[in-house]
Structure 1
Amino acid sequence: MAVLGLGLIEVSYGSNILIFSGYGEGSHFMTAALVGKELIRRGHNVTVLISNAYEHRANETKYKDLRFEIFKHNDPPEVVRNRQEHFAKSVFEGTAMTEFFMNMSIVLDWFVDDCHALFNDEPLLKRLRQANFDLAFVDPVWTCSLLVAEYAAKRHVSFMATTWMNFIPRVTGNPSNTAFVPEWSTGFTNKMTFAQRVINSVALAFSVWMTSSTDSTSIIQQTHRICPDLQLYQLYQRSHLLLVNVDFAMEYPIPVMPHVIPVGGLSAEPANNLSLKKLVKNAGDV
């Protein structure tokens, strides 16, 4: 009986987890913060790294259970917020990809400069190291998050907050057939015409070239001894898992490897009951 009783005791050990998913604004941060709150509910310690442009998050009631670390940009916070707001607006207007390709060198310089600012903050780096994180949960859209994960944690998991953005699963080892898997920024579905497949193949070739030829992180890698022998595209492959905020019941099917885990619906909350007053108002509006 004593053995049976011991078998019924559930023992759990809280891990020390670092989350770095964007500067602190938008869906990339908000969905990751929801994951962080759930991890806390399950007994883990969670620290979220954000930028000083959005450090007000640390004082918001809904994030009171999260610990925050702040890194500082070289640019003033209002400049960072303005460019982030401009990008968000361009996404809804459908011009984001066009603007990115037209201003690609400028945008990449922003990201690289922000990453250098983070890794030049010695007190912050010391705190991250001393925290002895068991796991980093990062969004590889900003490649600097992979460097932070390698620097501060024993292992890391990547998280894709958006709908299917093919280049991220592809560089982490997921197969990509241009005949029915659309590349990011094309807007195609899995049912492409011949012309669309040609365009998709060109987009894939361009994406592969960008990922394999860029050398934006090597200085930081060498300075801080962060996988100095690896190229950027190889850093993506070091994630143990890739969680994708995708539900294939709502989107077209895509073949995935075992390390790619669909977790669609992270931002969906339980439905609230509508009051009779709201039902009457909605009926009146119709």
Structure 2
Amino acid sequence: MAGVWLLLSLFFFLGSAEAGKLLVIPSDGSHWLGMKHFVEELGRRGNQVVVVVPEASLSMGPSQNTTTLTYPVNYTKAELEASLAGQINTILSIDISTDLAKFQAFIISMDVLQRFIVRSAEGLLFNEDLMKKLQDYSFDAILTDPFEPVGVIVGEYLSIPAIYMQVNLPCGVDTLASKCPNPASYVPQRSTHFTDQMNLWQRCVNLVRTLMQPMACRSMHTYADEIASRVLQRKTSIVEIMSRAALWFMRSDFAFEFPRPLMPNMVMIGGMSTKKPKPLSQVSSHNYMCM
């Protein structure tokens, strides 16, 4: 059902009567693996899908029924893997035994993520030939995962409708950018490990975390905001750009989350698998009895 909603929504932007042109700028790792089969299906159905990826990545590369464009970056795949492993170890080694420790872990994780998510931004955004080529395509829309904000900036630069497909980000940028209500009395902040039934102390901690969301997002996107301002030649921020999103595809499911408000252009599409499932093996009644 989630896949049907996703495809219908994308067809709405690409045009239902004729094939459309879709620019795809994914994020690396599981972010791309969860998006890949939808992108390939759109290409199979006759849409012109152009996927832009860095030359060195963990998992991204050519995909079926799409055109892949690459851009150079100043690191190798081995260096990327080593850097990611070090950053993950840093986050996992942080003490979260108390509420104060959890808050300190949150601040440290913002700093770690900031360095990771902008590593390839300049390689694409300041590649004049490739950016000119993307302009010449005259895309109908861009589909991107805002975990790495390069796609957010490209969509604004090209002035095309932006469709964001994301997993929840630590600073709650989806809530801030969309102006979505976020009542701190019953919507627990991410990484607090609270539930929707908090005691008075937990509600106070959750309120403080909620009030600090804008500061956390500014901290997390400091470098990205600077790059966006240089590319667009005006003072701006990632949160401001994302506030103009046409659609949000939220890779989460109410079955696994506490109830919270959503804006009309937000669609829960569930936790998408990273690959197509294989058919179940056939088990005969004889085999079952032998077990």
TM-score normalised by L of structure 2: 0.76
Shift of 1:68: 1.6
CA contact (8 A) 1:164 1:246 kept: no
- CA separation of 1:87 and 1:236: change in aligned 2, threshold 3 A: same
- CA separation of 1:141 and 1:34: change in aligned 2, threshold 3 A: same
1:275 to 279, 282, 290: 282
1:158 to 160, 164, 172: 164
Residue deviations 1:211-268, cap 9 Å, x none?
2465434543344336x24333211101111111122134332221211111114328
In structure 1, the residue matched to 2:232 is 225
Shift of 1:86: 4.5
In structure 1, the residue matched to 2:25 is 20
CA contact (8 A) 1:243 1:262 kept: yes
CA contact (8 A) 2:95 2:105 kept: yes
- Partner letter of residue 225 of structure 1? L
Task: Give me the whole-angstrom Cα distance separating, in 2, the residues matched to 1:182 and 1:123.
Answer: 45
- Partner letter of residue 183 of structure 1? Q
In structure 2, the residue matched to 1:50 is 53
Shift of 1:51: 2.1
Shift of 1:144: 2.5
CA contact (8 A) 1:163 1:246 kept: no
2:43 maps to 1:40: yes
Task: Give me the whole-angstrom Cα distance separating, in 1, the residues matched to 2:43 and 2:112.
Answer: 38
SS at match of 1:184: coil
SS at match of 1:249: helix
Task: Give me the whole-angstrom Cα distance separating, in 1, the residues matched to 2:252 and 2:113.
Answer: 27
Larger RCO, structures 1/2 (Cα 8 Å, 6+ apart): 2
Shift of 1:138: 1.4
* Aligned sequence identity (%): 20
SS at match of 1:53: coil
In structure 1, the residue matched to 2:122 is 116
Structure 1: unaligned runs, 5 residues or longer: 1-10
Shift of 1:41: 3.5
Task: Give me the whole-angstrom Cα distance separating, in 1, the residues matched to 2:246 and 2:211.
Answer: 26
Cα RMSD of the aligned pairs, angstroms, is: 3.6
Task: Give me the whole-angstrom Cα distance separating, in 1, the residues matched to 2:187 and 2:146.
Answer: 20
- CA separation of 1:202 and 1:153: change in aligned 2, threshold 3 A: same
Shift of 1:156: 0.7
Shift of 1:196: 2.0
Aligned length: 269
- Residues 96-175 of structure 1 correspond to what in structure 2 (within 5 A)? 101-102=107-108, 104-105=110-111, 107-152=113-158, 154-161=160-167, 166-175=172-181
TM-score normalised by L of structure 1: 0.77
- Runs of 4+ displaced beyond 6 Å: 89-100
- CA separation of 1:56 and 1:31: change in aligned 2, threshold 3 A: closer
In structure 2, the residue matched to 1:239 is 245
Shift of 1:190: 2.0
Structure 2: unaligned runs, 5 residues or longer: 1-15, 97-101
